Amino acid sequence: MRVVCVIPARGGSKGVPGKNLARVGGVPLVVRAVRAARRAGTVEEVLVSTDDDGIAAAAREAGARIVERPAGLGGDTATSESALLHALGTLPERPEVTVFLQCTSPFIDPADLDAAVREVLGGASDVVFSALETHEFQWSRGEDGMTGIGHSAAFRPRRQDRDPHYRETGAFYVMRTDGLVEHGHRFFGRIGVRAVPALHAVEIDTPGDLAVARALAPLAGRPEPVDADVLVTDFDGVHTDDRARVHQDGTESVSVSREDGMGVALLRKAGVPVLILSTEANPVVAARARKLGVSVLHGLSDKATALAEWLHDEGYDPRRAAYIGNDVNDLGCLALVGWPIAVPHAHPEVLAAARLVLGRPGGGGAVREACELILQSRALPNEGK
C-alpha cells in the first residue's frame, strides 16, 4: 500500500471527557474521522490507534482496522508521533505516505485530504498540513508590553497588501513515511500547506469548542446520500409546518405537501418502508398515513420505546434506520438510529443531535428531500455498505 491513514484516538481526555465519542451532527467524532479518511480516494487503509473499547467498536463499525495502543502510549505526555510509529509497526510493510488525521477536527473534506496526499506523492512536498489562511494582526506579550508578530505596530498595511499567515487546524498531516520514521516528528524536509475554509478549521479542545462544532454542523457538513433501509418520521413539524388551523366547530386541520407524498411513493416503490411516529392523537395523523399507504403509530407517550420495539419486531437494524424529527420529544428516537435527521427550523438540541439537517422545511418538501437522499444512496455502488 502506498497511503495509510492513522487516527490516534485514546480514551482519556481531560478537557472534554469521552471526547472522541462525543457526537457532532449526530455522529461520534472518531466515526466522522474514519469516514472522512475512507472517502478520500487516495487512502487505501485506515487504522485507529486506541486504548478504549468503545472507541474501538465505533471505529471498527465505521470501517477502520483497530490497533490496540499500549498503556505506555496512552498517557497525557505520550506524543501523537509515538502512536503513529507504533501503528505503522503493525503493518507488514512500510507505506510510502502516512496520513495523520485527528478526531478533534470534525469537518475534514476528503477532497482536501486527497489534494495533500497527491502533493506528497508527486514529490512537491515531504509534508503537507492543513491550515487556515489568515491576515489577522497577531501580537505577543513581552516584558515591555505587546509586540506585533510579522508586522510593525507603527504601520498597518491593508489586508490585500499583507502576506497571509497560516494557522494549523490540526485536522491532518500528510508525510513521507521514511521521513517520519527517520525524524520521529511530523515536520521535516520540504513542508507544504493545504489551506482549508474557516468552517473546516474548527478544532475541539474544550466543551465550548464542542458546542460551536455542533452548532456549525448543519453548515459545515456536506450533504450525503442517506444509506438507510427504513425511514421513520415525526408528523407535526415534519409532514406539516407545525401549525394547526382551528375551525369554528373545534376541529383542527393541517397542511401537507404533495411533494412529500410523491417522495414517499417513490421510496415505497424502491422497497423502503416508511413509518409515521407521533405523540399526536389527532385522527389526521392516521388519515395521512392511510393516504400515503404507510405504517403509523400515534398517540404515544414514549416515542423512543415505541420505535425500538417496532424496529425489533420488524427486523430492522437501528443503525440502518433514518428518523426525521423537529423537537425535543424526538431526541430519544434520534439517538436510537444511525441516521438522525432534522428539519432546518428544528429545536437547537435536535439540530445538534442530527447527522443531517435538511434544506427543505417541514410541510414544504422535507420528507421528499429525505426520500430522494435515500434513493440516491441505493443508486450508488455497494462499496462500503
C-alpha cell at 96: 510510502
Q: State which fold the 3-220 domain adopts.
A: Spore Coat Polysaccharide Biosynthesis Protein SpsA; Chain A (3.90.550)
- What would the pLDDT profile of 48-69 be if each residue is shown by its tens digit? 999 999 999 999 999 999 999 8
Which helix or strand (DSSP H or E) is residue 342 part of? Answer: strand 339-342
234 and 330 in contact (C-beta within 8 Å)? yes
| Cα–Cα dist 168/69, whole Å | 26
CATH architecture type of domain 230-379: 3-Layer(aba) Sandwich (3.40)
Give CA 339 to chain center in angstroms. Answer: 11
Q: How far apart are the first and last CA of the chain?
A: 22
Other C-beta atoms lying within 10 Å of the C-beta of residue 203 = 18
- Domain ranges within the chain, ordered by starting residue: 3-220, 230-379
Please compute the mean of the pLDDT values over residues 172-177 and round it to a whole number. Answer: 98
Q: Maximum CA pair distance of the chain?
A: 82
Residues 322 and 340: their CA atoms lie apart, in Å, by: 6
The DSSP annotation for 243-260 comes to: --EEPTTS-EE----HHH
Q: Is the pLDDT of residue 382 over 60?
A: no
pLDDT digits (tens, 9 = 90+) for 98-152: 999 999 999 999 999 999 999 999 999 999 999 999 888 888 998 889 988 877 7
